[in-house]
Amino acid sequence: MTALAGAKDTEMVEKHKSASPDRVIDIEKLSLTFETNDGPVHALSDIDLKIEQGDFVSFIGPSGCGKTTLLRVIADLEKPTAGSITVNGVSPEEARLNRAYGYVFQAAALYSWRTIAGNVALPLEIMGLSRSERQQRVARNLELVNLSGFEKKYPWQLSGGMQQRASIARALAVEPDLLLMDEPFGALDEIVRDHLNEQLLQLWAKTSKTVAFVTHSIPEAVFLSTKIVVLCPRPGRIYDVIESDLPRDRTLDIRESPEFLKIAHRVREGLKAGHSYED
């Protein structure tokens, strides 16, 4: 540990040299401490993580392990207190200003006074795109999430799963290379979730985007990901990083295969080990 801490400075200097052009996210020695009335809370501690172009990375862990916080740091919704992070080779703030990513929240967070089309057009209006460009992108992305024909509906007229799909279309409309998803299907039932997982995977295959995906479902993480990051709490840190060798072209049936179960088992063991000394 002391050797690692001593090497920190040289690593920081060399980081930009070694950054490969395909590196989307590069996190080194990142920590985030919230100051609260009950003393400091170490939400993230000493995180090292690299995400390459085209990866589908899942963050999995029990609540309080900092997986959402980590995603929020990437999105520049939280500022780290130590360490370094680059997104597309620049700071998260710069990446946000470049509109490098689309963010999907746990809740759909659609604006109730806007129609579905209006909601998807919201980021495009903020970006200052022309009306015709907006219309094209809205139509294209609503079709991508199978919501064509629902343009004029208001959010409350749609089911929870459809609302979440609309919010994914809204994130995609920005046309980012990076998609940040914070438990987007957490509030949905198993059947809808399976269906959306399959759709998301097809979407990812079609668009070759990089996805960072927070979940606490093991099957979801294993089914979707090329890389699974297991986090454990107090302080929030990375326990295990699993590179999945499942083929990129997957269907739900793969969940019965021995390879799938082997990875799921390793994730489960990681979650257990990271958690055990707490109880």
Partner 1 sequence: MTSNTFAPTRSLNPFAGLMSGTAGPVIVVVLAIIGAWYIGSVSLNTPFQLDTYERADRTDVPFSELLSDTLSQERPVLPAPHQIAVEIWETTAEKKITSKRSLIYHSGITLSSALLGFLIGTTLGILLAIGIIHSRVLEKSLMPWIIASQTIPILAIAPMIIVVLNAVGVSGLLPKAMISTYLSFFPVAVGMVKGLRSPEVIDMDLMHTYSANRLQTFWKLRLPYAVPFLFTSMKIGMAAALVGAIVGELPTGAVAGLGARLLSGSYYGQTLQIWSALIMAAFVAGSLVALIGLVEKLALQRMGMTR
Give the binding site for partner 1 (CB under 8 A).
75-77, 96-97, 99, 101-103, 105-107, 109, 111-115, 122-123, 125-127, 154, 156, 174
The minimum distance between CB 267 and partner 1, in angstroms, equals 28
The minimum distance between CB 15 and partner 1, in angstroms, equals 25
Q: Name which of 125 and 259 has its Cβ closer to partner 1.
A: 125
Q: Name which of 75 and 242 has its Cβ closer to partner 1.
A: 75
The minimum distance between CB 222 and partner 1, in angstroms, equals 28
Do 178 and 24 touch, CB atoms closer than 8 A?
yes
The minimum distance between CB 235 and partner 1, in angstroms, equals 24
Q: CB 119: neighbour CB atoms within 10 A?
A: 24
Q: Name which of 122 and 246 has its Cβ closer to partner 1.
A: 122
Q: Name which of 188 and 254 has its Cβ closer to partner 1.
A: 188
The minimum distance between CB 180 and partner 1, in angstroms, equals 8
Q: Name which of 185 and 239 has its Cβ closer to partner 1.
A: 185
Q: For the chain, give the DSSP string.
A: -HHHHHTHHHHHHHHHHH--TTEEEEEEEEEEEEEETTEEEEEEEEEEEEEETT-EEEEE-STTSSHHHHHHHHTTSS--SEEEEEETTB-HHHHHHTT-EEEE-SS----TTS-HHHHHHHHHHHHT--HHHHHHHHHHHHHHTT-TT-TT--GGGS-HHHHHHHHHHHHHHT--SEEEEESTTTTS-HHHHHHHHHHHHHHHHHH--EEEEEES-HHHHHHH-SEEEEEETTTTEEEEEEE--S-SS--GGGGGSHHHHHHHHHHHHHHHHHHHTT-
The minimum distance between CB 59 and partner 1, in angstroms, equals 18
Q: Name which of 109 and 246 has its Cβ closer to partner 1.
A: 109
